[in-house]
Amino acid sequence: MPETAYVSTAIPYVNAKPHLGFALEIVQADAIARYLRLRGYDTFFMTGADENSLKNVRAAEVEGISTRELCDRNSEAFRQLLPGLDISADYFIRTSSEMHFRGAQELWSMCRPEDMYKKHYTGMYCVGCEEFYTSKEAPDGICPEHQRELESVEEENYFFRLSNYQAALLELIESDRLKILPEARRNETLAFIRGGLQDFSISRSRQRAGDWGIPVPNDPDQVMYVWYDALANYVTGLGLGDDDPAFKKYWWDCPVKTHVIGKGINRFHTVYWPAMLLSAGIPTPDTVFIHGYLTIEGQKISKSLGNVIDPLVQVEQYGVDPVRYYLLRAVSPYADGDYSEDRFRDIYNADLANNLGNLARRVETLAEKAGYAPPPPSAAPDAPEAFHEAMAEYRFNEALAALWNSADALNQRIEEVRPWDLQKQGDTDALLAFLEEMVQGIRVIAHWVEPFMPCSASKLQASFGGGPIKRGEALFPRLP
């Protein structure tokens, strides 16, 4: 039985359309999942939508439709990213589903009773936001969003005793049993924990939540705070609460559990979430990989700047693989990155059209002329060591650089050997030996580029997989 692996993205709010920043995350997670499958892991890859936010209730009210209708419509826009970006997800979870409700309630019930307590508290509340603000967030008692005066509201909520887990969390992270990548994010988490952990609220009154959300077990006047509920998706999607064998297989017994998230939600995933799991007696994730933010032409993505790019429009224009390639190659996985149209076209032409695409074309042309028909490979070729080293730490850009070094070397060999001369001289033995070398080299790239550009990989595999080689269509037509 192969070992299992689990990969997830964060689940975005569905109150806005998906933009290129989320495309980055889902493509990164897809590359990880596909890589693990290539390495022989039986891999479960999950993404989805966070639907229990109060923001959805308010957005639906503005539009005059039900919250359910709004969620159905907006979640569909996110689900469309799966075929559009060639994402190999096994499941798309929606947190308004009954299955998720059952699972989140099961998780709540599994947490140690001494870790949860009900507390009266008085807070400064904005009716517009339907959120509490601390005196730090709103020092003058004015809502930073609405510029209106906050009301003093008294409410009784459940709290989670995070303070019980300070030592356990430190041990988990310092020992790398919970690995946080990159190092800077790991340090951020460690500093936060060492600074002392405060208990956090995990419920809202049902009324204040707009009657939308997951009822707390045995206390139907309270619904789960949206973060408790959203984090639970990582296990409810595997059927926790339904005795689904997938939960045991891909979480409980699984040695490779990876969350891919953005830097803004680090604390939720590396502090709150593992503490919730420790309390419930459930194994914690193995790795949390945290990417930076994407800017567009050097500017923050924002509706008011009008620079929100729909990833599917880019795919329409350039094809899915070039968009995936840019996100994985041109954006540093560990830092903030930028999307620029000029840079996209430069990289497309340099790396795809002129390098890999041209290499495949040249070898196809030579092989067709020579009538070369290699036997199919007897085993999957292995990648350069640098490739696997980079992928072990999700340095996608460096993994691709390792493959492109191989492509450079093959192109260089063509210039050195000058196979067209061998053809003219009728030196068939030398020519066939050279073509064999080329085909072996291209097969390595075709096999290991699959996690990044699945469609191009399968075209290369079809062309160089064995049997007569024909000059096909250009893999990446040059952009003007």
* Member of 20, 54, 126, 216 binding Zn ion (CB under 5 A): 126
CB of 407 to Zn ion, least distance (A): 54
The site that binds Zn ion (CB under 5 A) totals a number of residues, namely: 6
Nearer to Zn ion, 144 or 245 (CB): 144
442 makes contact with Zn ion (CB under 5 A): no
CB of 276 to Zn ion, least distance (A): 28
In terms of Cβ atoms closer than 10 Å to its own Cβ (0-12, 13-18, 19+), residue 424 is: exposed
Cα separations in angstroms, 187 against 162, 181, 477: 19, 10, 44
Q: Is residue 384 reached through a cis peptide bond, with omega within 30 degrees of 0 on the bond before it?
A: no
129 makes contact with Zn ion (CB under 5 A): yes
CB of 138 to Zn ion, least distance (A): 9
Q: What is the dihedral of CA 93, 334, 271, 102, to 10 degrees?
A: 0
CB of 61 to Zn ion, least distance (A): 15
**Whole-angstrom Cα distance, residue 183 to residue 144?**
33
Pairing of strands 203-205, 219-224: antiparallel
DSSP symbol at 149: B
189 touches 263 (CB < 8 A): no
CB of 146 to Zn ion, least distance (A): 4
CB of 130 to Zn ion, least distance (A): 8
In terms of Cβ atoms closer than 10 Å to its own Cβ (0-12, 13-18, 19+), residue 480 is: exposed
Distance of CA 206 to the CA centre of its chain: 32
Residue the block writes with tokens 């039986």: 42
- Identify the three-state secondary structure at position 19: coil
Give the range of 30-38, 56-64, 128-136, 238-246 binding Zn ion by CB under 5 A: 128-136
Write the interaction track for Zn ion spanning residues 47-66; mark x where CB under 5 A is met and - where it is not.
--------------------
Nearer to Zn ion, 126 or 460 (CB): 126
Q: Degrees (nearest 5) of the Cα angle 277, 165, 269?
A: 50
* Member of 40, 83, 128, 245 binding Zn ion (CB under 5 A): 128
Question: Could you give the residue ranges of the DSSP H alpha helices within 330-427?
Answer: 341-347, 358-370, 385-392, 396-417, 419-425
In terms of Cβ atoms closer than 10 Å to its own Cβ (0-12, 13-18, 19+), residue 76 is: exposed
Give the range of 54-62, 126-134, 347-355, 430-438 binding Zn ion by CB under 5 A: 126-134
230 makes contact with Zn ion (CB under 5 A): no
CB of 125 to Zn ion, least distance (A): 9
Residue the block writes with tokens 């990969």: 7
Nearer to Zn ion, 58 or 257 (CB): 58
Write the interaction track for Zn ion spanning residues 84-123; mark x where CB under 5 A is met and - where it is not.
----------------------------------------
**In the range 138-177, which residues lie near Zn ion by CB under 5 A?**
143, 145-146
Nearer to Zn ion, 143 or 240 (CB): 143
Nearer to Zn ion, 148 or 369 (CB): 148
Q: Which residues bind Zn ion (CB under 5 A)?
A: 126, 128-129, 143, 145-146
